[in-house]
Amino acid sequence: MREALREARRAEEEGEVPVGAVIVLGDQVIARGRNQRELLHDPTAHAEMIALTAAAEHLQNWRLSGARMFVTLEPCAMCAGALVLARVQEVIWATPDPRAGAVESVFRIWEEPRLNHRVLSRKGVLEDECRGLLKSFFRRRRAED
């Protein structure tokens, strides 16, 4: 999770919402991602999506079976769905997203019985640190407006 947090801090330095993700296969980091919506002018450029694309490229395979993602914020509906489609084994996420979280906060996408893949989930790793980074970012953003 520390590597994902490092990516989140890089996103913040670039003026992005500070969310970071890494994908691990075995004990090796195979992909990294951070929010890049502003930079790429792309509403889908979430940290998870960037990391999924990089991991698929690295493996030359869209199936990421056995891979684990560490992400600093609970995935949204788009990202949760993409993680299912990519066959990611487990997602470890730091802090809930009460406005758009799709693991447990707003939706429970991974509990949908009709989906063909189950993503394991753990939450709360470095939660205080990741939540603090997001809160301070938005506090500064509101003060600038």
Q: Model-level pTM?
A: 0.96
Taking the CA atoms of residue 87, residue 2, residue 29 and residue 122 in that order, the dihedral angle to the nearest 10 degrees is -20
The HSE-up count of residue 140 (CA atoms within 13 Å, CB side) is 12
- Choosing from 12, 48, 127, 144, which is the catalytic residue? 48
The answer to whether 48 is a known catalytic residue is yes
Burial profile 24-60: b = 16 or more Cβ within 10 angstroms, e = fewer: bbeeeebbbbbbbbeeeeeeebbbbbbbbbbbbeebe
Q: One digit per residue, pLDDT tens: the chain, 145 residues?
A: 999 999 999 999 999 999 999 999 999 999 999 999 999 999 999 999 999 999 999 999 999 999 999 999 999 999 999 999 999 999 999 999 999 999 999 999 999 999 999 999 999 999 999 999 999 999 998 898 7
